[in-house]
Amino acid sequence: MNFLQELAESRLYRRLGQLEGKTVHDISERLFEHLLALQIFCNVNPGLAARYATEIMKLQSFDGFRTSQPDLYNLIVLIQKQSQYSHIIDTDETVGIPELRLRRNLREIARGKFDNNDYSQMMLIMQRRFENLPQQLVALRRKISDWKQLSSGQQISLINMLKLNMRERGIQSDFYHHLEKLKI
């Protein structure tokens, strides 16, 4: 099965109507989970991470929700352009993304030049901007930032914790399916 077919089969949100009643805080939590998963992919399966980043950076203006893009792209759009979707989601302008740093990290991942320290710093900035993140996600961010120092058992445990957090709401994204298939 090719990469784009996999994307089409497992979507977090297939249409904007599925977001009705959600808050930007709900979406920021999903984005944080996805960015943690991307950091894991960069450390375990850099080829997969590069394909995702390349696909996302094809439309780096993040100008609108697109069903043809990965879930991560749409989550970025929903946070970055939240006023554009205020008729569907409850917005909070204090929630934002360090856009330039995110773009730089995605470009570097697409080039195969992942910098774990820069990415971890970006995640810390996001943690501070996304209020009320669950403590489990905060703890995962800390541990994933030291990925290379962890044993394979600890790495598997972190992947399982992230999958449990993603599965908690009963909505599975394309990243969830790739986390399921990771080999440590």
pLDDT per residue as tens digits for the range 56-102: 998 888 888 888 888 889 899 999 998 898 888 888 888 989 999 99
Q: How many CA within 13 A on the CB side of residue 175?
A: 34
Cα 18 to Cα 12, 21, 69, 92, 146: the distances in Å are: 9, 9, 16, 19, 35
- Taking alpha carbons only, the member of 50, 49, 44, 36 closest to residue 156 is 44
Q: Are 81 and 62 in contact (CB under 8 A)?
A: yes
Q: Are 43 and 147 in contact (CB under 8 A)?
A: yes
Q: Are 40 and 179 in contact (CB under 8 A)?
A: yes
Average pLDDT over residues 127-156: 94
CA angle 7, 51, 47 (to 5 degrees): 120
Cα 110 to Cα 38, 51, 147: the distances in Å are: 12, 7, 20
Which amino acid, residue 89? I
Tokens of 161: 């914790």
- What pLDDT is stored for residue 8 in this prediction? 46
Tokens of 56: 């996302």
Q: What is the pTM of this model?
A: 0.89
Q: What share of the chain has pLDDT > 90, as a percent?
A: 56
In the chain, what are the domain boundaries?
3-181
- What pLDDT is stored for residue 71 in this prediction? 86
- What pLDDT is stored for residue 9 in this prediction? 47
- What pLDDT is stored for residue 60 in this prediction? 82
Which amino acid, residue 72? L
pLDDT in tens, 8-29: 444 566 667 677 878 889 999 9
In the predicted structure, residue 125 carries a pLDDT above the cut 80:
yes
The CA R_g of the chain, rounded to the nearest whole Å, is 15
CB atoms within 10 A of CB 112: 12
Distance CA 156, CA 165 (A): 14
In sequence order, what are the beta bridge partners of 52? none
- What pLDDT is stored for residue 11 in this prediction? 59
In the predicted structure, residue 171 carries a pLDDT above the cut 80:
no
- Taking alpha carbons only, the member of 180, 131, 163 closest to residue 36 is 163
- What pLDDT is stored for residue 157 in this prediction? 96
- What pLDDT is stored for residue 40 in this prediction? 97
